[in-house]
Every structure is written in C-alpha cells, then in structure tokens.
Amino acid sequence: GAVVSQHPSWVICKSGTSVKIECRSLDFQATTMFWYRQFPKQSLMLMATSNEGSKATYEQGVEKDKFLINHASLTLSTLTVTSAHPEDSSFYICSARGTDNQPQHFGDGTRLSIL
C-alpha cells in the first residue's frame, strides 16, 4: 500500500517551455503533498507544501510564479515549471501523506533537462 506515482519520469525540452509534472497517490487519499528538488549528490530541498483545495505554501527562496502547484483533488497534485531555463534542470520528487501523523511516501522522481 501507500503507492505514489509520478509522471513523467524524464523530460527533455527547450528553454522557454513550460513543463507539467503530475503526482498521484494511487491507493490512499493525500491530504498533503510535497514537492522537493534534489541536486546531484545532495539531499532533498523542500520547495512547497500543498493541501488539497488550498494554495500551496512555498519555502523561502522558491518563486511561486515560476513553480506553479495545483492540488485539485485528494489524489493529484501538479507542479508546472513555467518558462523553464537550463538552471531549472534538476531532479524533482513529490511525496504524499494522508493525515499529519502518517509518513510521507515518495514518487520515483522526474528528471528535468532544459536545453
């Protein structure tokens, strides 16, 4: 149980393109979903927290107009990287959690490469 699916797993696109990444909880309802960014050989950096039906809370230094997050249902959150540039290239990972005291379960990540 507690499976989180993330798509796509790998995206290569041109500079200036907007890219949407989906995160779905397959067998549980996710009250809260999280979006992380991971640089090579580093730990995860939390970008934002999203609760179903409300606006996402962004961490300091993360541009909300650049990284649009939508959490329209209890099983789906999306991250849209708008007008992506090479510096946005990274590994993006989502996680989902049921209630506050339950652990976060992670997707398999999306490798984003901007040319």
Binding site for other proteins (CB under 8 A): 2, 4, 6, 34, 42-44, 46, 49, 93, 95, 97, 100-101, 103-109, 111
Residue 68 CB, nearest approach to other proteins (Å): 20
- The residues near 18 (Cβ < 8 Å, ≥ 6 apart) are 80, 81, 82, 83, 84
Nearest-CA neighbor of 19 among 68, 77, 87, 72?
Answer: 68
Residue 7 CB, nearest approach to other proteins (Å): 12
- Which is closer to other proteins, CB of 44 or CB of 76? 44
- Which is closer to other proteins, CB of 16 or CB of 26? 26
| CA–CA gap between residue 21 and residue 112 (Å, rounded) | 10
